Amino acid sequence: MKIEGTEYQSEDDPQGDYQAFEVDGEEKSLVYGLYAQLKAHKDHFSNMQNRYRSLASTWILAAFVGIGYLFSRHKIDLPFNTSIAVVILCVLAAIGISLLWHLDIVVYQKLWFGTIIEMSRLEKKNKWLLGVNNKILKAHASKKYHFFQSYFYIGCNIILLVMGCVISAIMGYPNFYVVGISVAVGVAIVLFLPKLMLRVSGEAEAFTSESFLDEG
């Protein structure tokens, strides 16, 4: 088997180096070419996830800057109380973080995991390929593996939403009805939001990994 490689740059990503392989008609050559293409797709999806996480970090920092500015001594002409603006900002920032989480974990994580599964199938049928992706699948199928990627987004959402609830409770005092609702919403967020996000992010991935392992 003879495979020749040449480096080139993509027009979409001029900073990224890729490897182009010239394959012949041999089975190993075709398998290796397919495996290399799958790896390129896997790396692309992983890079996109890293970009979304970086954007989420910028998003929450921008939210804190906005909150600090609203609470500063600068005169801001608003048709309503500044505390209400802060609560609205917290909610909107949490919605933005949730959208980034959906793109990262629910969308691109599935695409990334799909390439892992296909690479694992090739590794099972061709023992001369490294079995790295099979190990990744076994790690994801383990009950101890808890899709830790979602915890970053969960933490950001809890911080923003609980902050909004605390400010709402302070703003509503001494109206105990408003304070009670704010505290109840804050407790519900802390208790149920992590379970909901982990369930959504983990269901499809757990199903695909377990069904694939059952094949072997």
Domain boundaries, the chain: 4-215
DSSP 8-class letter at 20: E
Residue 122 in tokens: 């090739």
* Contact yes or no for 167/161 (Cβ under 8 A): no
Global pTM value: 0.77
pLDDT by residue, tens only, the chain of 216 residues = 444 444 434 444 545 444 555 555 577 888 888 888 999 999 999 999 999 999 999 999 999 999 998 888 677 777 778 888 999 999 999 999 999 999 998 888 888 888 988 898 888 888 888 778 887 777 766 555 556 778 889 999 999 999 999 999 998 888 889 899 999 999 999 999 998 888 887 665 555 555 555 555
214, 60, 44: which is closest to 112 by C-alpha? Answer: 44
2, 38, 49: which is closest to 21 by C-alpha? Answer: 2
Instruction: Measure the CA–CA gap between 155 and 99, rounded to whole angstroms.
Output: 15
126 phi and psi angles, rounded to 5 deg: -130, 95
> In 72-175, which residue ranges form alpha helices assigned H by DSSP?
82-101, 109-125, 132-141, 149-172
